[in-house]
Amino acid sequence: MTVPTVALNDQTSIPQLGFGVYQVPPDQTEATVSTAFEVGYRHIDTAQMYQNEAGVGAAIASSGIARDELYVTSKLNNSFHEPDAARRAFDETLERLGLDRVDLFLIHWPLPTQYGGDYVSTWRTLTEFVADGRATSVGVSNFQPAHLDRIIAETGVAPAVNQIEVHPYFTNEAARAASIRHGVEVEAWSPIAQGKVLDDAVIGEIAAAHGKTPSQVTLRWHIERGDIVFPKSMREERMRENFDIFDFALTEDQVAAISALDQGEAGRTGPNPDTFDWIPG
Ligand SMILES: NC(=O)c1ccc[n+]([C@@H]2O[C@H](COP(=O)([O-])OP(=O)(O)OC[C@H]3O[C@@H](n4cnc5c(N)ncnc54)[C@H](OP(=O)(O)O)[C@@H]3O)[C@@H](O)[C@H]2O)c1
């Protein structure tokens, strides 16, 4: 099964399907990611705040997979937005992953009400990691249209991606459209809404018509909209199910029917990035 790639605005590319490790316990991360590698995943999405980068690194080290066949993303802890703290935190990410380079490093949250509202110098700091060759690409996560507009206007550098909550109950069209307008690829986090969309009647009907599962149909919907996804599962059979989405296609009407399930803000499962201000103690 060949996973398609998406071209980024910095002339690199990213596998459109990956494996997310949010809420994978640190002591189970090496085994879980090793199983994901066996299934065929080559793109791993972790973060400093998930506290499992070392497990991802251990799975990479024991995998025998060539470095250039892997795509590894991590994200800056909310505690480390100040430039010197971000530099130190990035050094530690590379150390924990056992890598001399990540493929992608993101500002995890904009935190517009923290750090004097200055996420611009944090963004400028991330661009240093591209300049020194230790990050192939850099980007942002949970950036609202105004946050994107501002970092691009003030630095002249557009992020490669914006990783935001997107699923059938929260299609997040304003943030998607702003990203696309700036040439920033959209990564859809919680692509199956942590399972909340899987009992939906519309999705179930479309799944039955294709002989596929609700999770496969939902992930396929993202792929056809052009977004990048990395569903998480601790179970091998679900990892296989979520990987097996490239042998069928939805009709335009089916894509539209799933998009119509959007509930606006009521469908959001995570925090609102405009007000989210959590800094780990
Ligand atoms: N940037 C951010 O702020 C942010 C926020 C959230 C997530 N993310 C990223 O996005 C990734 C994915 O999001 P997520 O982990 O929140 O949620 P998700 O991938 O939408 O859903 C994961 C949940 O669904 C279950 N599941 C997975 N496949 C299934 C299937 N085929 N059938 C039934 N249930 C299934 C999993 O349970 P089991 O594990 O028991 O199978 C788990 O509870 C994360 O791992 C992380 O990398 C980023």
Q: Where are the domains of the chain?
A: 5-263
* Domain topology for 5-263: TIM Barrel (3.20.20)
**What are the tokens at 151?**
């970092």
Which of 189, 200, 218, 235 best tests ligand 1's pocket when mutated (most atoms within 8 Å of CB)? Answer: 189
Cα separations in angstroms, 241 against 167, 172, 190, 192, 213: 18, 25, 16, 13, 8
Q: 19 C-alpha to center of ligand 1: Å?
A: 9
> pLDDT of 244-281, one tens digit each?
999 999 999 999 999 999 999 999 999 999 999 999 98
Q: In whole angstroms, what is the distance from residue 279 CA to residue 51 CA? A: 14
Q: What is the mean pLDDT of residues 228-257?
A: 98
Which of 76, 197, 232, 272 best tests ligand 1's pocket when mutated (most atoms within 8 Å of CB)? Answer: 232
DSSP result, 136-149: EEEEEES--HHHHH
Phi, psi of 90 (to 5 degrees): -65, -40
- The question of whether 41 is a catalytic residue gets the answer no
Compute the mean pLDDT over every residue in the chain, rounded to the nearest whole number: 98
Q: Which atom of ligand 1 is nearest to the CA of 238?
A: 31
| pLDDT at residue 281, as a whole number | 87
DSSP letter at 167 equals B
Q: 118 C-alpha to center of ligand 1: Å?
A: 30
Edge-to-edge strand list for the sheet holding 102-107:
19-20, 43-45, 71-76, 102-107, 135-141, 161-165, 185-189, 228-229
Q: What is the mean pLDDT of residues 21-47?
A: 98
| pLDDT at residue 77, as a whole number | 98
What torsion, rounded to 10 degrees, do the Cα atoms 7, 109, 70, 189 define? -70
Residue 256, SS3 per DSSP: helix
Q: 224 C-alpha to center of ligand 1: Å?
A: 19
Phi, psi of 188 (to 5 degrees): -95, 110
- Percent share of the chain, pLDDT over 70: 100
Closest residue to atom 24 of ligand 1, CA basis: 194
Which of 41, 186, 194 best tests ligand 1's pocket when mutated (most atoms within 8 Å of CB)? Answer: 194
Are the beta carbons of 174 and 146 closer than 8 angstroms? no
User: Taking the chain, what is the end-to-end CA distance rounded to the nearest angstrom?
Assistant: 43
What does the chain come to in residues?
Answer: 281
Residues with CB under 6 A from ligand 1: 20-22, 45, 108, 141-142, 163, 189-195, 198, 215, 230-235, 238, 241-242, 270
| Catalytic-labelled residue, pool 22, 41, 50, 169 | 50
Q: 56 C-alpha to center of ligand 1: Å?
A: 16
> pLDDT of 41-82, one tens digit each?
999 999 999 999 999 999 999 999 999 999 999 999 999 999
Are the beta carbons of 224 and 186 closer than 8 angstroms? no
Give the residue from 168, 208, 209, 174 showing the smallest Cα distance to 190: 168
Q: 171 C-alpha to center of ligand 1: Å?
A: 16
Question: Which amino acid, residue 255?
Answer: V
Q: In whole angstroms, what is the distance from residue 266 CA to residue 224 CA? A: 24
Closest residue to atom 36 of ligand 1, CA basis: 233
Residue 89: pLDDT band (50, 70, 90) is very high
Residue 127 CB contacts under 8 Å (≥ 6 apart), including other chains: 138, 155, 157
Rg, Å, the chain Cα set: 18
| pLDDT at residue 58, as a whole number | 98
pLDDT surpasses 80 at 1: no
> pLDDT of 116-136, one tens digit each?
999 999 999 999 999 999 999
Region for 164 from its dihedrals, namely left if φ exceeds 0, alpha if ψ lies in -120 to 50, beta otherwise = beta
Place of tokens 């149909």: 217
